[in-house]
Amino acid sequence: MGIKNTVSHMVTRKKVLITSVVLVVNLSLVALAFTYSKSSVEKASESNNGVKKVSLIPEDQIPRYNLTPIEPVKDRVDYWRTEIVKCMPAESTMVSFGSDTVERCLYEVYVSSANLLEWQAMGQALREEITRNPLLGGPCHRPAHLAGEAFLKSAGGSIRRALSLFDRDTCENGLTHGVIEAWAETGPDDNDAWDIVTGCQAYSNETTKSFCAHGIGHAAFNVKKDPVEAAKWCAYLDGANLAQECGQGVLMNTYEPTLKTKFHRNPFDAPKEMKDICERWPSKDTPGMAIGCAHGAAFVFSKIGLKDVRVLTQNVPYPFPVFEDKMLAQITTAMQRSVKACETLNELTDSCIAYLALNIPNNPDPILANPQVREAVCKPLGKHKVACINAYRVLN
């Protein structure tokens, strides 16, 4: 009995010792990871020694019309390009570029440039690199949303000031949308919405203005957490184009947000819910409002088929090879699901399919640069097929 107790006691002590060692090792690894993360940011800051942060001007001096942010300085664009290139994987496939390592690296670049308010220069560098290698257009967007808080903080917490400092619509305007969503996290009300509306409408560049209006839709849903209530902010905007871009932003964040939270809806439920949402859409008599729901629905429905397309093509190397007829037929079948979803909208069906022709080719998936794939994804769109094929552009 004594021997058993002694053995049991020794085993227990051994378990405690092993557990303690494992705990110490785990804590060491956590500390090492924290130190690495901290040191990488510190190194980025050290490499920028001597570079002064942009001086902040009072809000009443920010132009409310014909705003054109200052062009970036070439040597700073070159500097940020070298930092971005460090994030590129050795293998040129969508799987490699989609790794967490690439996103984390880009996030650190975004934050380092945000701390200096240099998103204008960094955004230009990112645009140039995506043009050189379209695969970078895949992982660049999500970290841009995450880094928005750093830029807003660096701009003194002012959304109008932050927007006035850059206008690069790089990586599907992820940088602008990230700042706007960070502002939404501060709990703005309907009166505060005018700050962001006036900030977006100040841009002289119409494309930048439209992307910014889309971001207002993101913010509105994140604040209201209901698409119909959120769409009321879209009616604040001047012009049909801005209202419908805002509507798309609302429905994107309702079902297909870049950063998902518990209050976003299941995208698989969208075909069942969208008809009711569009019927209850506010201010339908205001130009651009009613069509904004069709525009947003088309974005959400485009993802239904494009997710399958991504799975089918994710291991295809870049530059893309000639595709077999069998795979192209599977791609077309996948996209038919998006068209069927639009058919649930009754009188908005044709408008929804017409916007599929815009949303599908303007998706940040580099596989759509391939003419064969583009032909296959656009094939189910009927009379809108040619418009879909011709709408493609590099999302740099």
What's the burial of 222, exposed, middle or buried (CB within 10 Å: 0-12/13-18/19+)? buried
For residue 251, give every residue at least 6 positions away whose Cβ sits within 8 Å of its Cβ, in sequence order, or none.
217, 227, 274, 277, 293, 296, 297, 299, 300
The token duo for 54 is 């942009």
**Which pLDDT value is given to residue 369?**
83
For residue 370, give every residue at least 6 positions away whose Cβ sits within 8 Å of its Cβ, in sequence order, or none.
320, 323
Confidence of residue 79 (pLDDT cuts 50, 70, 90): very high
Would you say 334 and 305 are in contact if contact means Cβ atoms under 8 Å apart?
yes
Output phi, psi for 317, to 5 deg: -75, 155
Element (H, E) at 33: helix 2-46
**What is the per-residue pLDDT across 197-233, written as a single tens digit (0 to 9) for each?**
999 999 999 989 999 999 999 999 999 999 999 999 9
Mean pLDDT value across residues 284-311: 95
**Which pLDDT value is given to residue 156?**
94
What's the burial of 362, exposed, middle or buried (CB within 10 Å: 0-12/13-18/19+)? middle
**What is the per-residue pLDDT across 231-266, written as a single tens digit (0 to 9) for each?**
999 999 999 999 999 999 999 999 999 988 778 999
Closest alpha carbon to 357 in 342, 375, 378 = 378
Whole-angstrom Cα distance, residue 122 to residue 110? 8
Confidence of residue 66 (pLDDT cuts 50, 70, 90): confident
Confidence of residue 304 (pLDDT cuts 50, 70, 90): very high
The token duo for 28 is 């060491």
Whole-angstrom Cα distance, residue 102 to residue 106? 6
Would you say 336 and 305 are in contact if contact means Cβ atoms under 8 Å apart?
yes
